[in-house]
Amino acid sequence: MTIKIHEAASLHENTLSFIHRERHKLLIGGVWVEARSGETFEVFDPATGDLLGHAAAAGEEDVAMAVAAARAAFAPDSEWRRMTPQKRGELLWKVADLIEANARELAELDTLDNGKPYRNSLYGDVPQVVAHFRYYAGWTTKIEGSVPPVSVPNTLNYTRREPLGVCALIIPWNFPLLMAAWKLAPALACGNTAILKPAEQTPLAALRLGELMVEAGFPAGVVNILTGLGVPAGSALVDHPGVDKVSFTGSTEVGKLIMRNASNNLTKVSLELGGKSPNVVFKDADMGKAVKGALWAVFGNTGQMCTAGSRLFVERPVYEQVVEQLSEAAGGIRVGHGWDKSHIGPVVSQEQMERVLGYIDEGRSSGIEMHRGGGRLGERGYFVEPTIFSHDASGDDLRLIREEIFGPVVAVTPFDDWEEVVQRANHTEYGLAAGIWTSDLSKAHRLAEALQAGTVWVNAYNLFDAASPFGGYKSSGFGREMGKEAIDLYTQVKSVWVSY
Ligand code: ADP
């Protein structure tokens, strides 16, 4: 086996020793174990295509063991169930401290595995991960019930917010560590036990996070980590009757499958799925800000964001100007490996690169105009040029405009009036996010109301905070992560009646 690390990477000794283990294990019941089958899968560096190691490929048996461990950890008399909320909060805070202390290593692992610029991993993703654990550490002592004013005489009715039980957390590869935090932090804050299934493209940082959680002192079985393929590892988790809740982030296609399969056991499901988000620039916007905002809205993280502002609507009088400035700005984007001073990295895998290039080819042959980009960059690694198409309303039903590409591709289109932009912006099966650029705040508020999206940004894009809820309308899913909404997502309400 030859592990190869990018020549430009100068890695922390802990990262090197982690990578040089070469073969990574599963965390089940507090113990690191091989998959029962002994099977592994390969992990690649998308900036080079080189092998980074082998991760254990969990199968049905491993899933059954992890569920048993998580169930045992959730038993009524278990250490975890008896733990005070305050102590649970302290454990989550300790994880945050450990992540902070190991920030460099975690950021390096995410960059190796996902390809994103190291600066983004270190100054973007990892601090947000820390913030999530701290935010939910604070929540453990604030998960309250209520005392509804019932009209039954001599009766007290009160509610308790209780954990759901064993939560299967299935995450994608675009923000490997952050997606783990989005799910683990609230699930554990609420007193659940968890089985995390990282994406097969990017399992490494989650494994290191698992080690830090063991070090923080979570009782065995409270946090389990199963690396493996969607099928069988993810699917077996969804099918298992011992799982109480599945929280999934990923494609709409897999989300639908998960919902169908979870219905067999009526397992609770929350889904954060794809998007095809409209980003609307009015002629009265601060053009410098709007163009820069529109640029990073879609090209940030190489377009691999469910919120990517991939449909850019521009009011006709400024349309030509925006297309021109956007093309020029896109030309200044440095695409490169994460260890260089690149703005964006490769897409995550060869398969993803081929998908993205396929959409671009289709756009080209459909006859709409391409202003910039359109191809692969270099021969090594999976780099795709930032690509800009433009089209008029007749192009709205092209696959390129309708489907989520999850790559650095934007389609710009002019609009003339309010009714048109509302109708066309909402003409999508998705409803995850939207952007509005204008100096007229009344218009911004009106449009924020009219757009069918779980998140709307005004004169900004891709702002996130642990305190603010996030999730989709329409086929972008349901359930809200982050904020106090995530507490509802990982608890159920019990109503207790007492006659006196
Ligand atoms: P993407 O398109 O971002 O790769 P996917 O929806 O394919 O997203 O994958 C997101 C996560 O879902 C990954 O962890 C993947 O392994 C998992 N997954 C894929 N297929 C299934 C399935 N049939 N059941 C459960 N999980 C799955």
Same domain, 220 and 326: no
The mean pLDDT value for 156-185 works out to: 98
Q: What tens digit of pLDDT does each residue of 457-470 get?
A: 999 999 999 999 99
Instruction: Output the ligand 1 site: residues, CB below 6 A.
Output: 170-172, 197, 199-200, 229-231, 234-235, 238, 250-251, 254, 257-258
Task: From the CA of 200, give the closest atom in ligand 1.
Answer: 16
Same domain, 84 and 127: yes
**Ligand 1 center–CA 231 separation, angstroms:** 8
Q: What tens digit of pLDDT does each residue of 11-46 get?
A: 999 999 999 999 999 999 999 999 999 999 999 999
**Ligand 1 center–CA 351 separation, angstroms:** 14
Q: What tens digit of pLDDT does each residue of 56-89 get?
A: 999 999 999 999 999 999 999 999 999 999 999 9
Residue 151 sits in a domain of what CATH number?
A: 3.40.605.10
Lowest-confidence pick of 119-123, 134-138, 337-341, 380-384? 337-341
Residue 1 maps to a domain:
no
Give the chain's mean pLDDT. Answer: 97
Over 80: is that where the pLDDT of 200 sits?
yes
Nearest residue (by CA) to ligand 1, atom 13, is: 199
Residue 6 maps to a domain:
no
Alpha-carbon distance of 4 to 44, in angstroms, equals 9
Task: From the CA of 235, give the closest atom in ligand 1.
Answer: 24
Q: What tens digit of pLDDT does each residue of 414-441 get?
A: 999 999 999 999 999 999 999 999 999 9
pLDDT for residue 388: 98
Task: From the CA of 172, give the closest atom in ligand 1.
Answer: 10
Same domain, 343 and 260: no
Give the number of domains in the chain. Answer: 2
Same domain, 20 and 83: yes
The mean pLDDT value for 354-369 works out to: 95
pLDDT band at 1 (very low <50, low <70, confident <90, very high): low
**Ligand 1 center–CA 199 separation, angstroms:** 7
Residue 388 maps to a domain:
yes
Nearest residue (by CA) to ligand 1, atom 24, is: 235
Same domain, 262 and 300: no
Q: How many CB atoms sit inside 10 A of residue 86's CB?
A: 10
Same domain, 258 and 324: no
Same domain, 228 and 352: no
What range does the domain containing 128 cover?
13-273+477-496
Residue 296 sits in a domain of what CATH number?
A: 3.40.309.10
Residue 471 maps to a domain:
no
Name beta bridge partners: 67. Answer: none
Over 70: is that where the pLDDT of 409 sits?
yes
Nearest residue (by CA) to ligand 1, atom 2, is: 251
Residue 4 maps to a domain:
no
Same domain, 290 and 266: no
pLDDT band at 171 (very low <50, low <70, confident <90, very high): very high
Nearest residue (by CA) to ligand 1, atom 4, is: 172
Residue the block writes with tokens 């998705």: 430
Q: What is the 3-state secondary structure (H, E, C) of the chain?
A: CCCCCCCCCCCCHHHHHHHCCCEECEEECCEEECCCCCCEEEEECCCCCCEEEEEECCCHHHHHHHHHHHHHHCCCCCHHHHCCHHHHHHHHHHHHHHHHHCHHHHHHHHHHHHCCCHHHHHHHHHHHHHHHHHHHHHHHHHCCCCCCCCCCCCEEEEEEEEECCEEEEECCCCCHHHHHHHHHHHHHHCCCEEEEECCCCCCHHHHHHHHHHHHHCCCCCCEEECCCCHHHHHHHHHHCCCCCEEEEECCHHHHHHHHHHHHHHCCEEEEECCCCCEEEECCCCCHHHHHHHHHHHHHHHHHCCCCCCCEEEEEHHHHHHHHHHHHHHHHCCCECCCCCCCCECCCCCHHHHHHHHHHHHHHHHCCCEEEECCCEECCCCCEECCEEEECCHHHCCCHHHHCCCCCCEEEEEEECCHHHHHHHHCCCCCCCEEEEECCCHHHHHHHHHHCCCCEEEECCCCCCCCCCCECCCHHHEECCECCCHHHHHCEEEEEEEEEC
Nearest residue (by CA) to ligand 1, atom 16, is: 230
pTM above 0.95, yes or no: yes
Residue 7 maps to a domain:
no
Burial of 157 (0-12, 13-18, 19+ CB in 10 A): middle
Same domain, 345 and 242: no
The mean pLDDT value for 467-479 works out to: 98
Same domain, 399 and 485: no
**Ligand 1 center–CA 168 separation, angstroms:** 13
Residue 472 maps to a domain:
no
Same domain, 228 and 286: no
Task: From the CA of 255, give the closest atom in ligand 1.
Answer: 6
**Ligand 1 center–CA 309 separation, angstroms:** 22
Task: From the CA of 249, give the closest atom in ligand 1.
Answer: 10
Nearest residue (by CA) to ligand 1, atom 17, is: 230
Alpha-carbon distance of 324 to 180, in angstroms, equals 39
Residue 5 maps to a domain:
no
Most ligand 1 atoms within 8 A of CB, residue of 170, 247, 348 to mutate: 170
Alpha-carbon distance of 320 to 325, in angstroms, equals 9
Same domain, 234 and 251: yes
Tell me the catalytic residues: 272, 306
**Ligand 1 center–CA 234 separation, angstroms:** 7
pLDDT for residue 159: 98
